Structure 1
Amino acid sequence: MDHLSSNAPKGAGANALTCKLQQFTRLSLADRAALERVVAERRRTFLGREDISREGDKPTKIYVMLNGWACRYKFLEDGRRQIVAFFLPGDLCDLNIFILRQMDHSIGALTDVTVAEIGRDSFERLIDDHPRITQALWWEALVTIAIQREWTVNLGQRDALERIAHLLCELYVRLWSAGLATDGHCAFPVTQSDLADATGLSKVHVNRTLQELRQEGLIRLANRQLTILDLDRLKRLAVFDPNYLHLDREGAHLDANNE
């Protein structure tokens, strides 16, 4: 994975969802065209800090992140918030959401966000007609579960410096896989409050940890942009192993321009 620091993946200019799915399985031109059509059918924009869906809502759509950042979160009765996932461009918010009677969590926009809304009929036609897309979506769902396991380890076993460093590594690699990061640079619009709610730390502790990472010459944060100055060192500090993101599947080794 050392090449992450200097190269963008093939297909980086493509739709972020298509680019990400091709890390798992080779998609044909027809597959990619079908994905483009389904995400173009209905689009919706949400403002930063606006809820996309709320706990208790009846789910009727799959949301695909087209641009902007969002999060999955839970509120406690006293108003405390726990962020349990970040959604980046190319991510699907709850692939099998139709089986739920009501949402058991909320999804909120962290920035202005544009999503594609995919209804049940459109989604079922897509997976029925395109088995390679279905295979890629299975992999995407497995990676989502793997990320949740890693977040559990982050909260339970890593110290503050390791937690923040690990999260920065993960977000950078996920953006890279969608063609949205290269040469150590990526968008980073989350606030220190968001980081605190995702890592179980106080805002003061997050600020102190980020300052330490800066002083060590590992990162630069400015104007909602993250620059990782030494990815290998940051990975070692975080004890970060990207294997749980499963980016070495078939699609990562094939020319996306071929049938």
Structure 2
Amino acid sequence: MSHPLIRKLEHGADLSEIERSALVALTLNRRSVPARRDIAVYDNTGRVYLVMSGMAGRYKTLQEGGRRIVSFAVAGDLCRMHVSGPSARDMRLGALTPCSVVDIPRARLTELIETHPGIARAMRWLTLMELSRAREWLVNDSRPADRRLAHHFCELLVCLQVVGLADANSFELAISQTDLADALGISQVHINRVLQALRAGDLIVWSKSVLTIPDVPRLKAFAEFDPGYLDLQDLRTVRAA
């Protein structure tokens, strides 16, 4: 598989060969994080975390001890790009499956942005895209639970296709029902019913850690999913138009 970060960033800007090489050099030292372990060191704001494989979740621990996942992170996603001070300890980043992660010194990433205009443009695009994605998660919370979950599945399909980890209608989904419940803010009993309803409607098949969507346009329509907010159009197609 080609480099997931480069594949993703090239949807936001053209990168020169020098810029691609600089990004590869930035991400050589990887570490493995087991499932159910936190990735980030909360009081260390001097690092940015790049997920190279697996799936992670950005989450907050609630006062009563529960957890609310506010977004998923897959291969190619940079996490904690814009944090500073005590507020950085509020939101955590945890591995939902075994993950390969790169700890990037924030100063080094800043240096690349200041040195390479293509990387700077790509990072600006990435920031705006992540803000748009966060807004969509807020809007999605107003939908019924079955449509919310369908929306998350559609988003994961598109994001994983971008980095070559999903085919036309399926992808590996090795997270637990608990993770899905925490992403929707519902109980274990409720998420089980929601999954049963989606299966009964022939909207999804989830077996052996692979999620298959029998009819992608139908699921997108059910979820009211419009991928435009992700801004992941192929730049080559845009330039040719």
Question: Into which bin does the TM-score normalised by the smaller protein fall?
Answer: over 0.9
- Please report how far the alpha carbon of residue 206 of structure 1 lies from its aligned counterpart in structure 2 after TM superposition: 1.4
Give the residue type in structure 2 aligned to 1:77: Q
Identify the residue that residue 227 of structure 1 maps to in structure 2.
212
**Other-structure match for 1:43:** 30
Secondary structure of the corresponding residue to residue 108 of structure 1: strand
Q: CA RMSD in A?
A: 1.7
Alignment map for 1:1-259 (pairs within 5 Å): 13-40=1-28, 42-53=29-40, 55=42, 57-97=43-83, 99-101=84-86, 102-155=88-141, 157-248=142-233, 250=235, 253=238
For residues 251 and 25 of structure 1, what CA distance do their matches in structure 2 show?
10
Report how far residue 44 of structure 1 moved.
1.8
The farther-off stretch of 219-228 and 99-108 is: 99-108
Query: Conserved in 1, the CA contact under 8 Å of 2:46 and 2:107?
Result: no
**Corresponding letter in the other structure for 1:244:** Y
Cα offset, 1:200, TM superposition: 1.6
Q: Report the alpha carbon displacement of residue 254 of structure 1 after superposing the two structures with TM.
A: 6.3
Aligned residues with identical type, % of pairs = 40
Q: Give 1:88 deviation, angstroms.
A: 0.4
Please tell me whether the aligned partners of residues 24 and 251 of structure 1 are also in contact (alpha carbons under 8 angstroms): no
Aligned residues: 239
How far 1:132 sits from its partner (Å)? 0.8
Structure 2 CA distance for aligned equivalents of residues 91 and 220 of structure 1: 26
Larger relative contact order (CA 8 Å, sep ≥ 6): 1
Deviation at 1:119, TM superposition (A): 0.8
| Structure 2 gap ranges (5+) | none
Q: TM-score normalized by structure 1?
A: 0.87
- Take 1:60 and 1:44, find their aligned partners in 2: how far apart are those partners? 17
Provide the C-alpha distance between the structure 1 equivalents of 2:41 and 2:109, rounded to a whole number of angstroms: 22
